[in-house]
Amino acid sequence: MTVTPVTGVTKIPTSTGGTAFLLGDKGVRPWWSGNLGMRVYYDISDDTRVSAGVRYAESYNGYSDPNSALVDAAGNPVYNGWIRFNDNGTTRYTNLNSGTNPFLNFVPGGESQTQTFVRGETLVGDVKVKADLSYTHTDAWFTSPTRLSTLTPTAGGMVFAGGGTNTPGPSNRLSATLQAERAWNTWNTFTLGLQAQRDWFDRNVEDLANFKDVGSGTGAISYHTEGWANTYSVFAQNKSDLTDRLTLYLGMRFDDWTTAGSTWQKATAVQSTLPTFATNYAQREAYSVTPKASLVYLPIDDLTLRASVGQAFRTPDLLQMYSRSQTTLTSFTDAAPDLKPEKVTSWEIGGEWRIPSSGTKLRVTYYENYLTDFIYNRVVSASETRRTNAGAAVVRGIEAGIEQKLLDHWTIYGNVTRNDSRMTENAAVPANVGKKLPMTPDLMANVGATYADGPFSATVNGRYVSKVYSDDQNRDVATGAFGTYDPYFVVDAKVSYAIKDTGLNISLTGKNLTDRKYYEFYLQPGRTVWTELSYRF
């Protein structure tokens, strides 16, 4: 066995507070995104109007050569084989070719989405009728390595090549809504609506001769999964103006959800060790009746008080239920075909006070949400994450904000949200009880200013987000390390100018202007500035 002595190793913290060794990086990950949209409106009469639109968006993530910080005695970078280095007097050994090589590049991936809609409204007698039909097609894809067969030298170091897979994820949503609204009398208005939604997807994982080249498909399929879900809903609301200053809203919604799916797997030339299986997930159904009530009260003209209580029902995503997703060469999130819909009972109370003489607006809201069958990602092992339903969770919080007009063109504002989110019941993993919900910050705040004067407008905004946990047992306590979700404060700004009578608008946008370094699993982009030209007609 040949062992290469190296220097250049740096000790860094892990997300759970331990230590690891930084050997280099996977290279720059270039990306781009773009979108294009169009809407048309037509007023057939004073009471009848229609609109239609289409929007297309696309994004792509690329890759580049890795960079090794490891240097041998001759000053050459090291990318593979056994290495030896000094750790504060302790000699350590590691094999770069065992498991996943730490210099394995990021892999290509992307997403495209096309959204189309048609909407209309009209009067039929004294009934206002609204209709909406929309279709969305999304195709997200990514490649993954399955074996690392060669290390090819380049001017910058070493490049990985080898077999892999391409995982496209075409998914579809077709939704239709029909709503009718009628005033029974001068103080009572009733709304009745119907909604139907169908979601479906079909995914094949295809072998690639080269995991970096999505065009190198061999045609061999190692994994197939598909699923569908239908949701039919009826909703009704009655608005009652009890007095000139007190309005009561009473509503009810019924949802019926049905889903089924299937998957199969087999070995291929690239995926030669895969076990073979085929599973059909039987059709299952869930339904929910969710009421809601709210009061709006104006004790004086410039003060609005609100209170509401209600329930909601959220179904799991098809990909969550029926598709396994690969995170890295050795880690994945498994499918969860038995996921149940989430349910929540919530209430809130709040108000807004407007002071016209000083141009001030103040608002505050307190809320509590009680969730059952809460869907979250359970960490099973270092390589496996599994989506599952928890027994119960609670989220309590308060939101407060202020807005202040200054002179004729300036407005300053600030708002803050304080959350306390806890798992309160989880028989499958009792250690989760009392822990904070994953990906839920305790504190969020914004402060900023806007300026508008004719065709010119500008805004500057500072955002703060406290640390969040991605681990269901809150073990990722560290900050400033790969895999962590750091607290951060960033400043963004945008200036725009509308060119008179042309429909053209030009703007300059800056994100993270202070070049703050922070992690949201990956190290986030530093200072970024771009220009935008838009045209409306």
- Is the pLDDT at 27 greater than 90? The verdict is no
Distance CA 157, CA 147 (A): 20
Within a domain: 101 = yes
- Is the pLDDT at 383 greater than 70? The verdict is no
Mean pLDDT rounded to a whole number for the chain = 90
pLDDT score, position 427: 82
- Is the pLDDT at 242 greater than 90? The verdict is yes
Per DSSP (E only), the strands in 454-518 are 456-465, 488-499, 504-511
Residue 332 pLDDT level (bands cut at 50, 70, 90): low
pLDDT above 70 as % of the chain: 94
Mean per-residue pLDDT for 343-355? Answer: 97
Domain end point (choices 105, 135, 153)? 105
pLDDT above 90 as % of the chain: 65
pLDDT score, position 147: 63
Domain count, the chain: 2
**pLDDT tens by residue, 60-84:** 988 887 888 999 999 988 887 899 9
pLDDT score, position 325: 67
Question: Which two three-digit tokens encode residue 513?
Answer: 């202007």
**pLDDT tens by residue, 258-305:** 999 999 999 998 888 888 999 999 999 999 999 999 999 999 999 999
Within a domain: 484 = yes
The CATH number of the domain holding residue 428 is: 2.40.170.20
Within a domain: 261 = no
Higher-confidence position of 199 and 532: 199
Q: HEC profile for 347-364?
A: EEEEEEEEECCCCEEEEE
Phi, psi (5° rounding) for residue 394?
Answer: -135, 140
Higher-confidence position of 99 and 101: 101
Within a domain: 358 = yes
Domain end point (choices 105, 129, 163)? 105
Within a domain: 118 = no
Within a domain: 59 = no
Q: Which residues, in sequence order, are CB contacts of 272 under 8 Å at separation 6+?
A: none
**pLDDT tens by residue, 458-495:** 999 999 999 999 888 999 998 888 889 999 999 999 99
- Is the pLDDT at 85 greater than 80? The verdict is yes
**pLDDT tens by residue, 392-433:** 999 999 999 999 999 889 999 999 999 999 999 988 788 889
Within a domain: 135 = no
Per DSSP (E only), the strands in 97-215 are 109-124, 127-145, 150-154, 157-161, 164-185, 188-208
Within a domain: 449 = yes
- Nearest residue to 83 via CA among 152, 156, 21, 148: 21
pLDDT score, position 502: 86
Q: Is the dihedral of CA 428, 431, 433, 438 positive or negative?
A: negative
Task: Print the domain residue range for 537.
Answer: 340-537
Distance CA 416, CA 66 (A): 41
